A and B are shown apart, each in its own frame.
Chain A
Amino acid sequence: MQTHTDYRMSQLDELESESIHIFREVAAEFEKPVLMFSGGKDSITMMRLAEKAFYPAKLPFPVLQVDTGYDFPEVLETRDRWVDRLGVRLVVASVEQAIADGIVVDDGRTSRNRLQIGTLLHAIEEEGFTAAFGGGRRDEEKARAKERIYSHRDEFGQWDPKNQRPELWSLYNGRIHAGEHMRIFPLSNWTELDIWHYLRREDVEIPSIYFAHQRRVFERDGMLLTESEYNPCREGETVSERTVRFRTVGDLTLTGCIESTADSYDAIIEEISVARVTERGATRGDDRFSEAAMEDRKKEGYF
């Protein structure tokens, strides 16, 4: 940051400052915070902000990843490099393990995305986390537009949209009862485009699958899904090699990619600036099932 002779801040600097303020507030007021890290661009932005908030000290909290078992290997590699560089503790909550332990039930019809909820809540309870940072942004989806920065969860991990605490100025209320926890959304006021501008400016590592690459894919429900042993082709589906990139990363059986030649931050920003479909609408099977899909999952305790 340079001298600003006119004492003005760019919108990225202002968003960064607001998020850093939130990270420090949580670290100061909560006994046991944790950062939920998926390896996606939003959680990498969070890691960067947390790194800045406490520098030159290390992050005063661990990082939690819910491993669906269907994660992209590129994402896990990026995760490991970030965790190594920052020297933070990584807690992995595995959906496979949760199924094996009977914490969640895999009935063959429920998606891994949905099974993450139970796995996540169990991990939060086991470790006794009192605050969990999530990368949710209000511009992502209608149900998120009314989400607070500090989002209270009851002892069942549930979100009650009708009973949210008013949130004024930058005075966050972190009071919780035993067994409850708070979800914290430091990126609430960021948009998808802000994230990309910030990542370009910071020039930090993100998973390579965000950039255009050759991939063997097949079409399902209007989405391009990656060829994988976890996601066998159904009748009539054919695999072909195309130049694609991912706009979000998640469970690879549900996360579609788009045909794109955007192989740099500049090209991605250019592409998103003219995009006509939201990132979730385009490539997330989990959000397309119903108009209220996100609202329902959030009430249950989703990210």
Chain B
Amino acid sequence: MDLLRFATAGSVDDGKSTLIGRLLLDAKAIFEDQLEAVEATSHAKGYDYTDLALLTDGLRSEREQGITIDVAYRYFATPKRKFIIADTPGHVQYTRNMVTGASTANLGLVLVDARNGLTEQSRRHAVILSLLRVPHIVLAVNKMDLVDYDQEVFDRIERDFTSFATKLSVPDLEVIPISALQGDNVVTRSTNMPWYEGSSLMHHLEHVHVASDRDLIDTRFPVQYVVRPKSDDFHDYRGYAGRVAGGVLKPGDDVVVLPSGMPSRIAGIDSFDQEVTEAFPPMSVTVRLEDDVDVSRGDMICRPSNAPTPTQDIDAMVCWMTNEPLRPRQKLAIKHTTRTARAMISDVKYRLDVNTLHRDQDTRELGLNEIGRVTMRTTSPLLVDPYAKNRTTGSFILVDEATGVTVGAGMING
């Protein structure tokens, strides 16, 4: 059994919470006491149905306002897979949450209401999923029951979306007609839409192939922690612990340690008390080298012929996440893999309208929930890859040094 992380976004009206509620219910991830609490609340609010949306509305402050204001994580499993849902609201003021939810997702689930077709919100979600390089997108055309399961309605929305998606980077797209409320094509194939020959949403989620989304070619091992037991049994043990960010590492491989450029060879790879013959993403292992080279946190172990170039000049798409705007000459802390440095913003090249994809080049700042192309200079070299090539070595966060708050998320251009 493996793991699939998927991100959803949407507002109260498009039936997203009902859909998630149904997936959880069908996968038996909702328990009787949770269901009873929801039924009681629905009754207290005077509804004549069980509002499954209440299952996913977590915090009391949100329940009082009737909106979801943050990323909520949900879990369910079928015999095939374990699923982690990053559930976010879809309004424009929550772009930062959508970006957060998408950052760890293998798959993005975009919901549209069949009666309304593509909306600004569904386009925005697709744009963000594409920017965050979520490799698989599912467009679920919901509320098909309310358009009499009409194939023409579905075909039109599919056409609209496919044509919009050509402007994005969407390696894999699946479009599925569903009714979350009635359960059509959610877990089992619907008999109401014989014209639809694809699989149900659950079947697709269970079978979509995610193993090949990782980069198994370009070896990247950011050193996280140096393990030095200094005990009698392991007196001379020196291991470099970290999580493989790309490629496959094997004992005997020739490597180079960046940024120093010192060459060495892998003596062994440890995973607790066992030796590993191959380490690949996203395994956490401890690498031992044959030579006594100087390696510390923030360094990266790569292959000599295939290594990122250390650079102090960063060109990236940045999502800004705080009220005070991002401006040129602003100084921030930057965390990239296991390396932290300081960065000074050089320029805001343009702001991207996430609804229209228009690039506004007249701006010199980015406000809350805005995304734009930004250049910056760092105090020490970072070992970066283009985000399109590697989501781990191509991403960073920006932190306000005074407040300590995470204020920006960056994806490096290549």
10 shortest interchain CB distances as A-B pairs: A175-B404, A281-B33, A57-B229, A20-B284, A168-B103, A11-B3, A17-B284, A24-B225, A52-B272, A11-B82
Using Cβ atoms and an 8 Å threshold, which residues of chain A touch B270? 55
Using Cβ atoms and an 8 Å threshold, which residues of chain A touch B216? 7
Apart from A8-B211, A295-B59, what 14 extra A-B contacts exist at CB < 8 Å? A24-B224, A24-B241, A25-B225, A28-B297, A53-B241, A55-B286, A142-B59, A145-B56, A165-B406, A169-B103, A169-B104, A171-B395, A173-B399, A189-B73
Q: B2 on the interface (CB 8 Å rule)?
A: yes
A168 & B229 in contact (Cβ 8 Å cutoff): no
Interface of B toward A, CB cutoff 8 Å: 1-3, 31-34, 37, 41, 56-61, 69-75, 77, 81-82, 84, 96-97, 99-100, 103-104, 211, 214, 216, 224-225, 227-231, 233-234, 237, 241-243, 248, 270-274, 276-278, 280, 282-284, 286, 297, 321, 333, 335-336, 338, 391-392, 395-397, 399, 401, 404-406, 409
| Least CB separation from A275: chain B residue | B31
Q: A146 on the interface (CB 8 Å rule)?
A: yes
**Bound complex: CA A186 to CA B270 (Å):** 21
A278 & B34 in contact (Cβ 8 Å cutoff): yes
Using Cβ atoms and an 8 Å threshold, which residues of chain A touch B230? 57
B60 & A295 in contact (Cβ 8 Å cutoff): yes
B392 & A14 in contact (Cβ 8 Å cutoff): no
**Bound complex: CA A7 to CA B73 (Å):** 26
Interface of A toward B, CB cutoff 8 Å: 1, 3-4, 6-11, 13-18, 20-21, 24-25, 27-28, 51-58, 138-139, 142-143, 145-146, 152, 161-162, 164-171, 173, 175-177, 188-189, 191, 193-194, 275-278, 281-282, 291-292, 295
A14 & B274 in contact (Cβ 8 Å cutoff): no
Using Cβ atoms and an 8 Å threshold, which residues of chain A touch B242? 24
A170 & B392 in contact (Cβ 8 Å cutoff): yes
B73 & A173 in contact (Cβ 8 Å cutoff): no
Summed over the interface, the residue pairs from A and B with CB atoms below 8 Å come to a total of: 188
A-B contact pairs, 14 of them (CB 8 A): A9-B3, A9-B282, A14-B2, A16-B284, A20-B284, A27-B225, A152-B404, A167-B100, A168-B103, A169-B391, A173-B399, A173-B405, A275-B31, A291-B41
Partner of B99, one of A25, A162, A168: A168
A24 & B211 in contact (Cβ 8 Å cutoff): no
Partner of A188, one of B73, B273, B395: B73
B31 & A277 in contact (Cβ 8 Å cutoff): yes
Given A145-B58, A173-B335, A173-B397, A166:B97 Cβ within 8 A: yes
Using Cβ atoms and an 8 Å threshold, which residues of chain A touch B277? 3
B72 & A168 in contact (Cβ 8 Å cutoff): no
A171 & B397 in contact (Cβ 8 Å cutoff): yes
| Least CB separation from A164: chain B residue | B70
B224 & A25 in contact (Cβ 8 Å cutoff): yes
**Bound complex: CA A55 to CA B58 (Å):** 38
B73 & A18 in contact (Cβ 8 Å cutoff): no
Given A27-B225, A56-B234, A189-B73, A168:B100 Cβ within 8 A: yes
| Least CB separation from B60: chain A residue | A292
Using Cβ atoms and an 8 Å threshold, which residues of chain A touch B284? 16-18, 20-21, 24, 53
Using Cβ atoms and an 8 Å threshold, which residues of chain A touch B73? 138, 145-146, 188-189
Distance (Å) between the CB of B397 and the closest chain A CB? 5
B271 & A10 in contact (Cβ 8 Å cutoff): no
| Least CB separation from B396: chain A residue | A171
Partner of B395, one of A18, A145, A168: A168
**Bound complex: CA A101 to CA B326 (Å):** 49
Using Cβ atoms and an 8 Å threshold, which residues of chain B touch A58? 229, 231
Distance (Å) between the CB of B16 and the closest chain A CB? 15
Given A3-B277, A7-B248, A57:B96 Cβ within 8 A: no
A28 & B225 in contact (Cβ 8 Å cutoff): yes
B59 & A143 in contact (Cβ 8 Å cutoff): yes
| Least CB separation from B270: chain A residue | A55
